[in-house]
């Protein structure tokens, strides 16, 4: 893959399922998006930042890693950004919105 990490707009389960299938992504790649949807719901494009924070809180970002953020709007609206980590990111930061609960994730989300 061209990227180590993905932050995909958590607009709903159907969107995430289709993107996972069409981009051939693993459950691990989709975990930040699915857990953000589980905890915060559809927060529009701000979900990308919760997903990035999740990835950071899990200690997954290493120097040189590439991350693709992609968000969708109504109609044909789509924005994306590619980030490259210039340094490792501290996993346990009290400023991270996942700080108080990251060890409880991932959770199993029912399919119904």
Single pTM value for the model? 0.92
Question: Quick one: tokens of 93?
Answer: 């930061």
Residue 112 falls inside a structural domain: no
In a domain, 110, yes or no: no
Report yes or no on 75 lying in a domain: yes
Query: What percent of the chain stands above pLDDT 70?
Result: 98
Give residue-wise pLDDT tens across range 43-97. Answer: 888 899 999 999 999 999 999 999 999 998 888 888 999 999 999 888 889 999 9
Q: What is the pLDDT of residues 29-49, one digit of tens each?
A: 999 999 999 999 998 888 999
Q: Quickly list H helices, the chain.
A: 13-23, 27-40, 47-57
Owning domain of residue 16? 5-104
d(C-alpha 103, C-alpha 14), whole Å: 26
Instruction: Find the CATH number of the domain harbouring 17.
Output: 3.40.47.10
User: Would you say residue 35 lies in a domain?
Assistant: yes
Could you tell me if residue 30 is inside a domain? yes
Task: Grade residue 112 by pLDDT with cuts at 50, 70 and 90.
Answer: low
Is 111 domain-assigned? no
Whether residue 102 is predicted with pLDDT greater than 80 in this model: the reply is yes
Q: Are 87 and 39 in contact (CB under 8 A)?
A: no
- Number of domains observed in the structure of the chain: 1
Residue 96 domain-assigned (yes or no): yes
C-alpha pair distances (Å), 25 with each of 1, 16, 18:
9, 10, 10
Separation CA 20–CA 61 (nearest Å):
21
């Amino acid at each position: 893959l061209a990227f180590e990490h993905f932050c995909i707009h958590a607009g709903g389960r159907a969107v995430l399922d289709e993107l996972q299938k069409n981009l051939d992504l693993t459950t691990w790649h989709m975990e930040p998006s699915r857990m953000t949807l589980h905890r915060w719901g559809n927060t529009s494009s701000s979900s990308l930042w919760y997903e990035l924070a999740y990835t950071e809180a899990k200690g997954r970002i290493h120097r040189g890693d590439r991350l693709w953020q992609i968000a969708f709007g109504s109609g044909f609206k789509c924005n994306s950004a590619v980030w490259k980590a210039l340094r490792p990111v501290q996993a346990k930061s009290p400023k991270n919105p996942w700080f108080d609960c990251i060890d409880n994730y991932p959770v199993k989300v029912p399919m119904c």
